[in-house]
Amino acid sequence: MTRTSSYRVTLFALSLLASIALVSARSSAALDMVVGAHVAVPNKTIADCGVRAQAALNSVLQNAIKAGDDGANWLAFGKAGGATQNSAAVIIHCLTTDNGYVATFTCSAEVPPNPVTASDLCTKITAAFGGAS
C-alpha cells in the first residue's frame, strides 16, 4: 500500500514537472515586426486612405482606432488563441503626397501565441487594403 502511494506521488510529481517544462519551453514568446510593402494611391484624398485602413484592419484584427492627432495613423490589436493580452498589432500610416497618398504598414506579432507571423499579418492586411485603384 505504501509503495503504491509513493508510486502515485512520484508519478504525479513527474507529470507535473514534465508539463511545466514543456509549457515553459514554449511560453517565451518572440516579438517580431516587419514593414510591409507600401501602397501609393494617386488622385485620392487622405480620407480615402483612412476608410480603407480602418476596413482592412477590422477585417483581420479588431477595433481599429485612429492614433495621434492628425487622423492619419490607424492602429488595431489582435488577440490570438484566447490569450488574455494583445499579442499582435498593425499600424497603417496614411501619408499625403504631392499626388494622392501613400499607405505604409507596420506589423508585429508574438509567436506563440499568435498562429500567424508578422509577415503573414502584413500580407493579409495589405491585401485587404487593396491596391492603387
Partner 1 sequence: MYENYRGLRRCIVTLHAVRRRALFAFALVAAVLSCNVVSHAAVDVGTGIRYVVSTGTLADCSTKAQTALNTYLQTSSETETGSGEWVAYGPNGSRGPSTTVAATVHCYPLTSGYVVTFDCIVELPNNPYNASDLCLDIAHTFSGKPVTPLASPTPPPSGCSTSNLVGTWTSDDRGGPTLTITPDGNLTDGDGVSGNWVLFNSNVTLTYYGNHSLTLAPDGKHMSGGGYHFTRKC
Name 55's Cβ contacts closer than 8 Å, sequence gap at least 6: 128
* Closer residue to partner 1 (CB): 52 or 76: 76
132 lies in the binding site for partner 1 (CB under 8 A)? no
121 lies in the binding site for partner 1 (CB under 8 A)? no
29 lies in the binding site for partner 1 (CB under 8 A)? yes
For partner 1, which residue of 20, 47, 51, 127 counts as binding (CB under 8 A)? 20
For partner 1, which residue of 57, 73, 121, 129 counts as binding (CB under 8 A)? 73
Closest CA to 115 of 76, 89, 87: 87
68 lies in the binding site for partner 1 (CB under 8 A)? yes
CA distance linking residue 94 with residue 19, whole number of Å: 46
User: 107 near 60, Cβ under 8 Å?
Assistant: no
Segment lying near partner 1 (by CB under 8 A), choices 14-22, 46-54, 55-63, 123-131: 14-22
12 lies in the binding site for partner 1 (CB under 8 A)? yes
Task: Bin 63: left if φ > 0, else alpha if -120 < ψ < 50, else beta.
Answer: left
Closest CA to 129 of 89, 90, 86: 90
User: 90 near 125, Cβ under 8 Å?
Assistant: yes
1 lies in the binding site for partner 1 (CB under 8 A)? no
Name the residues that contact partner 1, by CB under 8 A. Answer: 4, 8, 11-12, 15-16, 18-20, 23-24, 27-35, 38, 67-70, 72-73, 75, 77, 83, 85-89, 91, 93, 95-98, 102, 104, 106, 108-110, 112-113
